[in-house]
Amino acid sequence: MAVPGPGVGFQDLWASHAKMNASEDSYRQICDEVWALYQAQIKKDKWRRSSRCVLLPPPPRGRPVDLLFVGISPSHVTGIGFARERPPAELLAREFEYVSGAGPGKPGFSNDLYYAPLLQFAQRLSPGFGVWPQVARGEKSLLVEFTDALHITTDHRIADDLLSIMNPQAETDPVCDKCKEILEAELRLYRPRVVICNGRLPSKFLLELCTGRAVDRPVKETMVKDTRFGSKVHFSGYLNSKWMDGFSRARLLREITEHTDFGAKG
């Protein structure tokens, strides 16, 4: 057994090990909830031979997340090699590199079309941002991660495909409620300094989670500065869409930099 170095006690090592185990336990519970939701949707869709897939959230990295993007849902029309069984799905979540430039990768294990523009947006906040393989190799110092409000795939080319799974406009919807529970658990696990909601659905979910009330109409808030998760949360339209122009992106960048200095320690 290795002997702790100077200034490192066995109690410190034990505390670190216990913390890692607690994070893995929390992640396992999150994956259990996501998988149960996925299986229920497949059963619901069975009459039309469901093509739904699932992308589990990223695993804990042993450090807080500096910037977390929360999207709407993964798209099964991309080239990602989604898995339909639990062990391969967990492996995909752990090995998924999001952008192919992060490392050697594997065929179908990235989605540059969606994630690369988001990473580029993060690097406009600070050039130190990178995805986990880059941070792990010491190439980048600030960690950006990606998750979704709904972890089940939808076809983004079909306007009502999401509505076949959930109804965000209803006063109560069991799938929406479960997704918010999962998202809350993810925020507690990742402890992100900043959250960017990439779309109306994640913005709605995060505002309700952070404030305990529904979204005002017309919309009056663009961010929540203080949350019980210790994060600053910024609401946004779909960043990858032509409907969010360069001026709107510039306003979002300014809002984030006015409230968070990524050069300072969190």
Name the residue type at position 128.
Answer: G
Residues 155-162, mean pLDDT to the nearest whole number: 82
- CA dist 115 and 148 (Å) reads 12
pLDDT at 33 over 80: yes
pTM given for the model: 0.86
Task: State the residue range of the domain holding 124.
Answer: 10-259
CATH of the domain at 189: 3.40.470.10
Containing 67, the helix (H) or strand (E) segment is: strand 67-71
- Name the packing angle between helices 174-190 and 200-211 (round to 10°): 70
Residue 5 domain-assigned? no
Per-residue pLDDT, 263:
82
C-beta of residue 190 within 8 angstroms of C-beta of residue 145: yes
Query: pLDDT tens digits, residue range 111-143?
Result: 778 888 899 999 999 999 999 999 999 999 999
Residue 264 domain-assigned? no
Residue 29 domain-assigned? yes
Count of the separate structural domains present in the chain: 1
Per-residue pLDDT, 214:
76
Residue 179 domain-assigned? yes
Length of the chain: 266
Q: Which residue has the higher pLDDT, 3 or 23?
A: 23
- CA dist 229 and 38 (Å) reads 26
Lowest mean pLDDT among 9-18, 145-154, 202-211: 9-18
Residue 4 domain-assigned? no
Residue 24 domain-assigned? yes
